[in-house]
Amino acid sequence: MSPELTEDRRRWIALYVLCAGVLMIVIDVTIVNVALPSIQDDLGFSQNSLAWVVNAYLIAFGGLLLLAGRMGDLIGQRRIFLIGLGIFTVASLLCAVAQSQGVLIGARFVQGIGGALASAVILGMIVTMFPEPREQAKAIGVYGFVASAGGSIGLLAGGALTDAINWHWIFFVNIPIGIATAVLAVRLVDDHKGIGLDQGADVPGAILLTSGLMLGVYTILDVHNQGWASTQTLGLAAVSIALLAAFLVRQDRIPNPLMPLRLFRSRNVSGANIVIALLVVGMFGMFFLGALYLQRVLGYTALNVGLAFLPATLVMGTMSLRLAEPLNMRFGPRNVLIADLVGMGAAISCSRARRSTATT
């Protein structure tokens, strides 16, 4: 076997190892949503406090994602990936053994930190491993397929484990995946040195962003107790906005920002970020509220909830693996994105029309 062929196979195996890390993180997101009613009953969460099981993870994940990417540039992407895997795996163990609301929410926050560290550098490593455009598009398609398949696996596994044993086991499944992925990553993924810590990382900026997001979410969740026009709601909302504004001002003034604002002068960059933000909000809202509605209102079991969400995740996975590369190469990412958004809007409109017809 030629050295070139051996190296090519090693690259693709390394891709699958990185995708295993993605799989673990995506499984954790969807597997938790299916088990939320069981967690609520076992630990005594109220309807609003239950949201923190999801939000604690998402706030840490979103707030630290930019800093994690920067740290990958500074000290090496593989090193940050492994650190993130380690934190995520240990936090999964803490979630699995949690017997109180505070411990579970705290462990979910730590999980979000680990997920941010691991996720922030994966795409960068894939792009580095596959610089040629066609191979890169195929590799990113595999990445997208695994992310979507992870959603399907998480839904089914969450339902099966919750019904057959209990919700604690939805976190135990992360532990063997995390350990195996870390071992294989050390052996197969190249360790490229970073540019050095002396180049600087905006830790205060990350604190401003995470604090602003956390305070904003807390304010929204407590509205049912305080009211929209209460002094507490308006005051905390003002502080949250001020923290986020301070983050943006800081990014415009420091030499090594986490989020260079000049990038958003590009309509493509700004539009793509707005679209992905709205898609993520819609997806997590669908899983969170949908799982509760199906179980609390329609009486579905946890496994039936997983089966109900399965078609959407299977279609997303199939499209990512089979059609994403050829469509993007032929029509361009922008045109494909516009067509996708139009299709999603039409599907939602048809769904609303059918529900309206059924109720009348």
Looking at residue 213, its pLDDT comes to 78
> Please, which residues have CB within 8 angstroms of residue 220's CB and are 6 or more apart in sequence?
none
Could you give the 3-state DSSP secondary structure of residue 222? coil
**Where do the H-state alpha helices sit in the chain?**
3-43, 51-75, 77-96, 101-129, 133-164, 169-172, 174-188, 203-221, 223-226, 231-253, 267-292, 302-318, 324-331, 333-359
Looking at residue 1, its pLDDT comes to 45
Looking at residue 314, its pLDDT comes to 72
Q: Which residues of the chain have pLDDT under 50?
A: 1-2, 4-5
Looking at residue 205, its pLDDT comes to 80
**Burial label, 132 (beta-carbon count in 10 A; 0-12, 13-18, 19+):** exposed
Check if the beta carbon of residue 23 is closer than 8 Å to that of residue 177.
Answer: yes
> Please, which residues have CB within 8 angstroms of residue 80's CB and are 6 or more apart in sequence?
68, 71, 72, 117, 118, 120, 121
> Please, which residues have CB within 8 angstroms of residue 349's CB and are 6 or more apart in sequence?
none
Q: How far apart are CA 155 and CA 149, in angstroms?
A: 10
> Please, which residues have CB within 8 angstroms of residue 319's CB and are 6 or more apart in sequence?
none
Q: Which residue has the tokens 């992360």?
A: 174
Looking at residue 131, its pLDDT comes to 78
Q: How far apart are CA 23 and CA 26, in angstroms?
A: 5
> Please, which residues have CB within 8 angstroms of residue 142's CB and are 6 or more apart in sequence?
15, 16, 19, 321
Looking at residue 103, its pLDDT comes to 92
| Listed residue (203, 219, 207, 181) closest to 85, CA to CA | 181
Reported pTM: 0.74
Looking at residue 247, its pLDDT comes to 85
Looking at residue 5, its pLDDT comes to 47
Looking at residue 22, its pLDDT comes to 84
Nearest 5°: the CA angle 346, 33, 324 is 45
Check if the beta carbon of residue 90 is closer than 8 Å to that of residue 38.
Answer: no
> Please, which residues have CB within 8 angstroms of residue 164's CB and are 6 or more apart in sequence?
none
| Listed residue (168, 177, 157) closest to 34, CA to CA | 157
